[in-house]
Structure formats: C-alpha cells, structure tokens
Amino acid sequence: MKKIIKLFAISCLMLSSSVGAWCTVDGTLNTPAFECPVMNLFGFTTKQIDLCTDWSCTAPINIFTGSKYLEITPSGAVTGSDEISVNLPTSGTYSHIRLLFNNDVLMNGYGKKSNDWCATGSGTIYATEALAKAAATNTNFSFQLDKWLSWGNGVDASGYGDIIYGYGTGQNNIPGYTSHWSASELNEYTLLIRRDEGNDDFFLTTVLQGDYDFDSGKMPSTIVFGVTMDKVAALGVALADTDNSSPIDRGWTTLTDGSCVTYPAAFLFDYIIQ
C-alpha cells in the first residue's frame, strides 16, 4: 500500500452575520428569510477510514486508523489540523467510503431561535445578536446516540442507526434500508449512520465518487475527503423546554429548563478519488 498525505479538503463557507443582517438559503442578501447562525469554529476527530464495495461494508479496505483532529474556522482549515495520512490500496475498485468519528466535537458559534439568541458554551438566552456573539466560547458537544439514532434505518435497530437519503437519482432506493426523513436538500448522496461496536462513537458511510480503479497502477489525480459547513445551517439552535421536545428527543440535551441548546447541524460531505 502506498502512503500519501493529502489535504482533507475542509473548507468553511460561513456567511458573516452582523446585527440585523438577513440571509436566504442560497446565501444572497436579496430576499430576507432568516438571520443566519454563525459557526466560528468546528473541530472533530477521525478515527478510521475504510473503502468499501457496498453500503454494508462487509469487506472493507482500511486506509487509516488512529486519531486525527481536524478543525476549521471562517478563514478555512487550520494549519496542522487539515491533513490525514492515508494508505491507499494498490488494487481494486471501491464505490463507498466509511468513516469512524469520535462522538465529541468542538464548536464555537451563536444563533437565533424565534426571538431568542443563543451562544455555544452557555445555556443563557440573550436579547441581541451582539450579546450572543460576545458570549460564544469553545465548547465540546456529544450526541446522546440512543436518541440521535432513535429511528433506526431498516438494518440497524432503533437507537443504533439512521439513514438520510441524498437528493441524487436512486439514492432513496437502497435495498434493506428505510428512512424516517425527507431526502436531504444539501447532500447529493445518502448518509448512512450507525454506532460503532463500543456504542460510543459512530460510523458514517456514503458514496465514494469517482470509482477509481487502483489496478491501473497510477496515482489518483484527485483525492478529496471533504466536510464543508453549510453556509446557513452548520449550527443548530433550540430551547430545552417540555413544550419543544425536539432537543430532548433528538439527543441534543438532557435539560428541560428552557435554556439555550446549540448543536452541530448541516454539513456537506464530498468524498472523491479519481
């Protein structure tokens, strides 16, 4: 196996938000829609990367095992936290990629829920965007996996897996799997999520674009393992109260006191070898 080091291709497409600023889903300022949340920093640890020939990954080829922290800010990937060293195979064609992520991410940001402003690192409700922006601090976040994955996916039972179909052709027709959710408007390819063997972390499996044939004997011209923040929805904001049970039911918080809840939300995943 050849060992190479390639940029993990993490980029940040955050739309800056000032007091009173409005944005639309496509990121323009022409038609007011809602005030965008802001993610100042997002960091996560990749523990394993496998190449697979199907969704079940019954015969994976491991190209990385370890612990690599990756981080982005509004300026882009942080130097020293933007690369992963991988061992590429010298034969075979692979159509899927499976990654093991540590269920403990670092984030910093702020956003609005109805008329309330929230900031990472605090449960306080703020009256203005300026106050929430000033209050935001780096904070760690972990999903309650049994609740976050409570719907199952047709193969993995409730509490152990989930699947979000991509908007691409045929992505909602994967034998054996069923989804509770509408197809993603962000990701073209389906995201299959399941808990790891220790039930602490989680695997994400998706389509490996390019179907590169390693039997060709040539080094791939493009290697992109990309995770990109959605410009308007990378940070989720909610209130932890019994009248709004979603934050509790979805495993974002255990609180029920009406305080602010922030959590990682929409990201674009692109994995390409060609």
Write the burial class of residue 32 (CB in 10 Å: 0-12 exposed, 13-18 middle, 19+ buried). exposed
Contacts 24+ apart (CB under 8 A), 215-224: 215/91, 215/92, 215/93, 217/90, 219/2, 219/4, 220/88, 220/273, 220/274, 221/274, 222/272, 222/273, 222/274, 223/4, 223/6, 223/86, 223/272, 223/273, 224/9, 224/270, 224/271, 224/272, 224/273
Per-residue pLDDT of the chain (274 residues; tens, 9 = 90+): 444 434 343 333 322 222 233 344 444 444 444 567 888 888 999 999 999 999 999 999 999 999 999 887 766 677 777 778 888 888 999 999 999 999 999 999 998 888 889 999 999 999 999 999 999 999 999 999 999 999 999 999 999 999 999 999 999 999 999 999 999 888 899 999 999 988 899 999 999 998 888 888 888 877 777 776 665 568 888 888 765 567 888 888 888 788 999 998 877 777 888 8
Question: What's the token pair of residue 244?
Answer: 């709004």
Three-state secondary structure call for residue 185? coil
Three-state secondary structure call for residue 7? strand
Alpha-carbon span 28 to 102, nearest angstrom: 34
For residue 66, which phi and psi values (nearest 5 degrees)? 160, -140
Whole-model pTM: value is 0.85
Containing 210, the helix (H) or strand (E) segment is: none
Alpha-carbon span 119 to 132, nearest angstrom: 5
Give 154's DSSP letter: S
Strand partners, 61: 51
Alpha-carbon span 233 to 11, nearest angstrom: 15
First to last CA, the chain: 17
